[in-house]
Amino acid sequence: MDILLQVLANGLMLGGLFAIVSVGLTLIFGIVKVVNFAHGEFLMLGMYGTYLVTTGLGLHPFVAVIAVVPALFVLGVLTQRLLIQPLMAAGDDHIQIFATVGLSTALINLALLAFGADIANTPPHGLRAPVVIGPVRVLAGQVVILAAAAVLVAGLQLFLSRTQTGRAIRAVAQNRAAAELMGIDVGRIYALTFGIGAACVGVAAVLVAPLYPTSPTSGTYFVLTAFVVVVLGGLGSIGGAFGGAILIGLIDSLAGFYVGSDLREVAVFGVFLLILILRPSGLFGARLTLAHVSP
Amino acid sequence: MRHAVVTRTAVAVLLGLAATAAEADVRFGALYPFSGQLALLGEESARGLEIAVDEINAAGGVQGEKVVLVRGDAVDNNQAIGEARRLISLERVAAIFGSYSSARSIAASQVAELSGVPYFELGAVADEVTGRGLKFLYRTNPTAEDMGKLAVEMIVGKVAAGLGKKPDELKIGIIYEDSSYGTSVAGHQKKFAAGAKLNVVTAQGYPAATLDMSSLVLDLKRRGVDVVLQTSYLNDSVLFLQQANEAGFKPGAIIGGGGGYSMQPTADAVGHGIIEGVLDTDFTQFLVNTRYTPGIEGFVDAYRKKYNGSPRSGHSLNNYVGAKIILQELNTVKGFTPDTITRAVKGIDVKPGVTAVGYGFKFGANNQNERAAMMGMQWQNGKLVTVYPDEAAVAPMQFRK
């Protein structure tokens, strides 16, 4: 019984990790439907940023949020303006895929040049300390990640549903042309959404860096799962993505223990496929009709 | 008419000059991943070869000719093939040295084999490198099989006694990243463990790009595993050691299979206190008994002078010794045709304990160096010191009390 609780706790923590990394992607991919394969590399750059701030200034890694989040916001806006925006005019979404895959490869190799292939370790400053709750042991940093993911998801949900800008974002996502006719500055909204999505990745990077070694390929470990989480939760549903992340984390952990570590990906992707077959719009997604999405 | 004669003479003179220039040098290819993801250790490996060539040239070259290295960048398997072609047909190298990565080596050596150009592998460990029956491929370094063999040898010979148990009383858990590197080493570990009648209670693969090994750790803990054998890269070595520590899983011994376990960044990431006592099987490293590895200090000095820093791993050392042995042996023949080169290297017969890597050299079946062997290391006070075999050890193997 104790072991089962520990396995579940590990799964919950892993789910929190997937959730925090996916938050930015729900906005960029889930809401405005831009496929950004460089998402993982944004995370990797944020982790290096956290590492540099923490080791360079000797500060607690969380302080790095002041530098990393605005930096990633700018990176997101620039990516949208310089790479995605010109391609949107091309009218074929597949080009975005190639462009962002290219960006991803370029960023990985740039990081290889700048930082080398070695790993960089952000000092944990107590975040690796165990938190013992009854029979269960987890890390302080993992609990922070889970809590931060929940807060970020709730905050984003409120932002999208309650604020003028949030409504504008959803309007642009639903129908670009109609939104423009209503007087929304579509270009600005796209840039802003991308910036906010990237800034969320910045928050994730600051929280993840003290727990995981950073290397140029760190981002690739996260990106596939992040896409799975967003699709599983239901495109466009931010709360759904959070639920999807927790589910994936639990399946991964349970399968890793009870089935065997070599089969956990089979289990995760098997469940993913099964859910998509049974509920093509994802677990929490509304019925997906693409008719209203402008080309 | 006169014009044509002049041109012809000029061409002839130029050709003659080119021929004399070529005669003064003998060219060899250095085919490694110099860019891309494998660049760090690819470059490190090539440095060993470069130092060997420097020393050979300082001593008068090979057969009186200066050795010139031509670099080829094997950034991926396709480019390894392309660069091997370029080295052979355009650069006209006498032989190719390489290549750190097994996948690059397997791809590029096919090209060399078809062209009948000798290919000397100094650092790739996969079985398939020499397992294909190639005529012109020779490998000087120890292999995945040697790694598996050594781990089992250490358990039977030292670890069991150190933990106060008989070898067959120990519960062994084998975990490995599931690409060809981890799978082949783990396969040999299983094979030799079965041969030594050890009790392997579980063997599990996992993807190297994993984010969480806590389930695997819990599984090993539940099974009461005494000795963990892990074959892994950097990320998963760090992850396993950290998560094992955090879950309170303290097996009697952890034996790593090279990769992440031999690297200082792993120790720094995990923490010196946590990695203390962890064992490792790999190529010869630098904290080793120098009476068994004569020349290793000279190598380190030469390395520091040339590259302004200490060697970053044992790869340079193994490439250095392998290349030097081969180049020296080419003095015993005349000319650099493929046949004379292969005839020369077949005569190599170097006993263990006389080179800077410790192991000896003699090519046996499949042109594999049958005297190549790995060594056992242990992390002690944040340093990777050699503890096995006894003649190479600088410290006794230590066990948690």
CB contact under 8 A, B39 and A213: no
Residues 6+ apart with CB under 8 A from A165: A159, A189, A192
* Length in residues, chain B: 401
Does the pLDDT value for residue B17 go beyond 60? no
CB under 8 Å to A200, separation ≥6 — which residues?
A23, A24, A27, A152, A156
Q: Do B336 and B248 share a domain, yes or no?
A: no
Mean pLDDT within A89-101: 83
Structure tokens given for A139 = 């890390």
What average pLDDT does this structure show over A26-49?
90
Mean pLDDT, chain B, rounded, equals 91
CB–CB contact B234 A17 (8 Å): no
Q: Examine the domain organization and report whether B48 and B120 are in the same domain.
A: yes
| B19 confidence band (pLDDT: 50, 70, 90) | very low
Question: Is the peptide bond prior to B99 cis by the omega test (within 30 degrees of 0)?
Answer: yes
B55 and B191 share one domain: no
**Facing A262 at nearest CB: one of B206, B239, B247:** B206
Instruction: Please tell me the total count of domains within chain B.
Output: 2
B248 and B159, same structural domain?
Answer: yes
The reply to whether B98 and B26 lie within a common domain is yes
Task: Give the separation between CA B398 and CA A229, rounded to whole angstroms.
Answer: 46
Nearest to A85 by CA among A189, A187, A196, A193: A187
- B297 and B240 in a single domain? The answer is no
Give pLDDT, residue B401: 63
What is the CATH classification number for the domain harbouring B258?
3.40.50.2300
Of B39, B205, B209, the CB nearest to A117: B39
Instruction: Reduce the DSSP state of residue B315 to 3 states and report it.
Output: helix
For residue B274, the model assigns a pLDDT of: 94
Q: Is residue B339 part of a domain?
A: yes
Q: Which residues of B touch A7 (CB under 8 A)?
A: 215, 218
Domain ranges for chain A: 2-292
Across-strand partners of B96?
Answer: B29, B119
pTM above 0.80, yes or no: yes
Residue B46's domain comprises 2-142+292-370
Rounded to whole angstroms, the Cα distance separating A156 from B264 reads 42
Mean pLDDT lowest among A135-144, A151-160, A277-286: A277-286
Q: Which residues of B touch A118 (CB under 8 A)?
A: 40, 265
Mean of pLDDT values over B204-231: 93
Three-class SS state of B26:
strand
CB contact under 8 Å between A14 and B211, yes or no, is yes
Check pLDDT > 70 for residue A45: yes
Cβ burial of A238 (10 Å; 0-12, 13-18, 19+) is: buried
Asked if residue B7 has pLDDT above 70, the reply is no
Task: Please state, rounded to an integer, the average pLDDT across all residues of chain A.
Answer: 89
> Is residue A92 less than 8 Å (CB to CB) from chain B?
no
Rounded Cα gap, residues B167 and B160, in angstroms: 5
Burial of B104 (0-12, 13-18, 19+ CB in 10 A): buried
Regarding whether B125 and B149 lie in a shared domain, the answer is no
Mean pLDDT, to the nearest integer, of B219-223?
95
Residue A2 touches partner B, C-beta closer than 8 Å: no
Question: Is B223 a residue whose pLDDT tops 90?
Answer: yes
Q: Does B365 touch chain A (CB under 8 A)?
A: no
The C-alpha of A72 sits at a distance from chain B's nearest C-alpha, in angstroms, of 23
Q: Is B398 inside any structural domain? A: no
B115 with B260, same domain: the answer is: no
Q: How far is CA B327 from the centre of its chain?
A: 18
Q: Average pLDDT for residues B131-143, to the nearest whole number? A: 94
Tell me if B101 is assigned to some domain.
yes
Q: What is the pLDDT of residue B2?
A: 53
Q: Which residues of A touch B209 (CB under 8 A)?
A: 217, 220-221
Examine residue B401 and state whether it is found in any structural domain, yes or no. no
* Pairs of residues, one from chain A and one from chain B, whose beta carbons lie less than 8 Å apart: 91
Q: Would residue B259 count as lying in a domain?
A: yes
Structure tokens at B255: 């034996």
- Identify which of B232, B299, B310, B218 has the alpha carbon closest to the alpha carbon of residue B270: B232
Reported as half-sphere exposure (CB side, CA atoms, 13 A), residue A125 has a value of: 17
* B397 inside domain: no
Q: Residue B6 — pLDDT band, cuts 50, 70, 90? A: low
pLDDT of B3 reads 59
Query: Which two structure tokens, joined as six digits, stand for B400?
Result: 């948690």
Please tell me whether residues B43 and B110 are part of one structural domain. Answer: yes
Of B277, B299, B234, B275, residue with least CA distance to B376: B277
> Hey, what are A239's tokens?
């709360």
